[in-house]
Structure 1
Amino acid sequence: MGIRTVAVYSDADENALHTRVADTAVRLPGATPAETYLRGDLIVKAAVVAGADAVHPGYGFLSENAGFARAVLDAGLVWIGPPPEAIEAMASKTRAKELMGIAPLGEVTGADLPVLVKAAAGGGGRGMRIVRRLEELDGALEGARAEAASAFGDGEVFVEPYLGGDAHGRHVEVQVLADTHGTVWTLGTRDCSLQRRHQKVIEEAPAPGLDSRITSELYEMAERAARAVDYVGAGTVEFLVSDGTAHFLEMNTRLQVEHPVTEAVFGVDLVALQLRVAEGHALEKEPPRARGHAIEARLYAEDPARDWAPQTGTLHRLAVPDGVRLDTGYTDGDDIGIHYDPMLAKAVAHAPTRAEAARKLSGALERAAVHGPVTNRDLLVRSLRHEEFTAARMDTGFYDRHLAGLTAPAPDPYAPLAAALADAHGRSRFGGWRNLPSQPQVKRYASAGEEHEVRYRHTRDGLAADGVRVVHADGRLVVLEVDGVRRTFDVARYGDQVYVNATALTALPRFPDPAAQLAPGSLLAPMPGTVVRIAEGLTDGAFVEAGRPLIWLEAMKMQHQITAPATGTLTALHVKPGQQVEPGMLLAVVQENRS
Structure 2
Amino acid sequence: MFRTILIANRGEIALRVIRACREMGIRSVIVHSEADKDSLPVRMADEHICIGPGPSSKSYLNIPNILCAATLSQAEAIHPGYGFLSENTSFSEICADTNIAFIGPPASAMRIMGDKVSARAAMAEAGMPMLPGTPVLHSLAEGLEAVKQVGFPLMLKAVAGGGGRGIRLVTRQEDFERTFLLAQNEAREAFKNDGIYLERYLGKARHVEIQVLLDHHGNGIHLGERNCSCQRRNQKVLEEAPSPHLPAELREEVGRTAVKAALAVGYRNAGTMEFLVDEQNRYYFMEMNTRLQVEHPVTEQVTTLDLVKEQIRIAAGHPLSIRQEDVKFRYHAIECRITAEDAEADFRPQTGTVTQYIMPGGPGVRVDSHLYPGYEVPPYYDSLLAKLIVWGETREEAIIRMRRALDEFVIEGLPTTIPFLRRLIDHPTFVEGEAYTRFIQEEAVALGIEQASRKAA
Query: Does the alignment reach a TM-score above 0.5?
Result: yes
Task: Note the 1:426-575 alignment, pairs <5 A.
Answer: none
Q: Which position in structure 2 is the counterpart of 1:215?
A: 251
Structure 1 distance, partners of 2:298, 2:242, is 8
1:239 and 2:275 matched: yes
Structure 2 distance, partners of 1:149, 1:319, is 41
Query: Equivalent residue of 2:91, what SS?
Result: helix
- Cα shift at 1:155: 4.1
Q: Which position in structure 2 is the counterpart of 1:227?
A: 263
Structure 2 distance, partners of 1:171, 1:308, is 22
1:261 and 2:298 matched: yes
1:176 pairs with one of 212, 215, 218: 212
1:532-568 deviation digits (Å, cap 9, x = unpaired): xxxxxxxxxxxxxxxxxxxxxxxxxxxxxxxxx8xxx
Is the contact made by 1:238 and 1:250 (CA closer than 8 Å) also made in structure 2?
A: yes
Partner AA of 1:48 in structure 2: T
1:8 and 2:44 matched: no
- Give structure 2 stretches of 5+ with no counterpart: 1-23, 125-129, 135-142
Structure 1 distance, partners of 2:47, 2:176, is 47
1:28 and 2:51 matched: yes
Structure 2 distance, partners of 1:408, 1:257, is 24
Q: Which position in structure 1 is the counterpart of 2:164?
A: 125
Partner AA of 2:319 in structure 1: A
Question: Which of structures 1 and 2 has the bigger CA Rg?
Answer: 1
Is the contact made by 1:38 and 1:153 (CA closer than 8 Å) also made in structure 2?
A: no
Structure 2 distance, partners of 1:288, 1:217, is 15
Which of the pair is proportionally richer in strand? 1
- Cα shift at 1:122: 2.3
In structure 2, relative to structure 1, the CA distance for the partners of 1:18 and 1:155 (3 Å cut) is farther
- Cα shift at 1:366: 1.3
Query: Equivalent residue of 2:446, what SS?
Result: helix
Partner AA of 1:104 in structure 2: G
- Cα shift at 1:152: 4.1
Structure 1 distance, partners of 2:36, 2:285, is 36
Structure 1 distance, partners of 2:185, 2:34, is 24
Structure 1 distance, partners of 2:443, 2:306, is 35
1:274 and 2:297 matched: no
Q: Which position in structure 1 is the counterpart of 2:340?
A: 301
Query: Equivalent residue of 2:166, what SS?
Result: coil
Which of the pair is proportionally richer in helix? 2
Structure 2 distance, partners of 1:134, 1:8, is 48
- Cα shift at 1:114: 2.6
- Cα shift at 1:17: 2.5
Partner AA of 1:7 in structure 2: I
1:93-126 deviation digits (Å, cap 9, x = unpaired): 1110011125732634377223222222222212
Moved more, 362-371 or 196-205: 362-371
Q: Which position in structure 1 is the counterpart of 2:443?
A: 402
Query: Equivalent residue of 1:63, what SS?
Result: coil
Q: Which position in structure 2 is the counterpart of 1:329?
A: 370
Identity of aligned residues (%): 42
Aligned residues: 413
Q: Which position in structure 2 is the counterpart of 1:541?
A: none
In structure 2, relative to structure 1, the CA distance for the partners of 1:379 and 1:67 (3 Å cut) is same
Q: Which position in structure 1 is the counterpart of 2:16?
A: none
In structure 2, relative to structure 1, the CA distance for the partners of 1:117 and 1:31 (3 Å cut) is farther
Moved more, 144-153 or 274-283: 144-153
1:557-580 deviation digits (Å, cap 9, x = unpaired): xxxxxxxx8xxxxxxxxxxxxxxx
- Cα shift at 1:28: 2.6
Q: Which position in structure 1 is the counterpart of 2:86?
A: 63
In structure 2, relative to structure 1, the CA distance for the partners of 1:312 and 1:326 (3 Å cut) is same
Please, what TM-score do these two structures have when normalized by structure 2? 0.84
Partner AA of 1:388 in structure 2: T
Is the contact made by 2:185 and 2:194 (CA closer than 8 Å) also made in structure 1?
A: yes
Structure 2 distance, partners of 1:82, 1:264, is 24
Is the contact made by 2:232 and 2:438 (CA closer than 8 Å) also made in structure 1?
A: no
1:104 pairs with one of 129, 133, 136: 133
1:392 and 2:433 matched: yes
Is the contact made by 1:320 and 1:365 (CA closer than 8 Å) also made in structure 2?
A: no
Partner AA of 2:282 in structure 1: T
Is the contact made by 2:346 and 2:449 (CA closer than 8 Å) also made in structure 1?
A: no
Is the contact made by 1:34 and 1:150 (CA closer than 8 Å) also made in structure 2?
A: no
Is the contact made by 2:147 and 2:198 (CA closer than 8 Å) also made in structure 1?
A: no
- Cα shift at 1:175: 0.4
2:389 pairs with one of 336, 342, 348: 348
Point out which structure has higher relative CO (alpha carbons under 8 A, 6+ apart): 2
- Give structure 1 stretches of 5+ with no counterpart: 411-447, 450-522, 527-564, 566-595
Moved more, 67-76 or 300-309: 300-309
Query: Equivalent residue of 1:173, what SS?
Result: strand
Query: Equivalent residue of 2:160, what SS?
Result: coil
1:144-163 deviation digits (Å, cap 9, x = unpaired): 34444554454433222222
- Cα shift at 1:172: 0.2
Is the contact made by 1:177 and 1:235 (CA closer than 8 Å) also made in structure 2?
A: yes
Structure 2 distance, partners of 1:305, 1:140, is 27
- Cα shift at 1:299: 0.4
Structure 2 distance, partners of 1:40, 1:391, is 46
Partner AA of 1:35 in structure 2: K
Q: Which position in structure 2 is the counterpart of 1:78?
A: 101
Structure 1 distance, partners of 2:192, 2:34, is 20
Q: Which position in structure 2 is the counterpart of 1:377?
A: 418
In structure 2, relative to structure 1, the CA distance for the partners of 1:12 and 1:129 (3 Å cut) is farther
Q: Which position in structure 1 is the counterpart of 2:8?
A: none
